[in-house]
Amino acid sequence: MKMTFLARASSVAAFLLILAPAHAQIRTDQGTDVSKSCEQGLSIPAPYGESDLKGHAKFPAYCKCFMSKFEVRAMKAAKYMQANPGKAPPGTLEQSNAEELEMRNSCRKQFGLPQVVLPK
């Protein structure tokens, strides 16, 4: 699977977000810190970011949905890394990207927003 620079940058950013909850114990119900992460996606062009949702009335609800799913995934990864120091959670970058795309589309569907379709 060929990845563009933007896709790689997005994946690196996602990985860094995965690590943050392990150190900061960030929770979605703590508000602004987590929602800012989601809002940063508005500056990334679709389909790799959420720029197509900029100004949409349902974006805050979508963001809350996505970040709650992202938090569950991040906490799972953090627990794995605590139990296995020095090891990254199993799976490939492609698997991680596919999982994130599924989370995004699940939340978009929940709020009647357009689905993300990646170019082939």
- Res 23 pLDDT > 50: no
pLDDT, residue 28, reads: 44
Residue ranges of alpha helices (H) inside 1-120 are 5-24, 32-40, 59-83, 93-110
**pLDDT tens, 29-87?**
444 566 688 889 999 999 999 999 999 999 999 999 999 999 999 999 999 999 999 98
User: Could you tell me which of 109, 99, 50, 106 has the C-alpha nearest to residue 76?
Assistant: 99
Please check the confidence at residue 96 and state whether its pLDDT lies above 60.
yes
15 vs 64, which has greater pLDDT?
Answer: 64
Instruction: Quote the percentage of the chain above a pLDDT of 90.
Output: 58
Better-predicted residue by pLDDT, 5 or 35 = 35
- Say how far apart CA 98 and CA 94 lie, in whole Å: 6
pLDDT of residue 14: 53
The per-residue pLDDT for 16 is 47
Model confidence at 99, in pLDDT bands (50, 70, 90)?
very high
**Both structure tokens of 4:** 């563009």
Nearest-angstrom CA–CA distance, 73 and 70:
5
Per 3-state DSSP, what percentage of the chain is helix, strand, and coil (rounded to 5)? 70, 0, 30
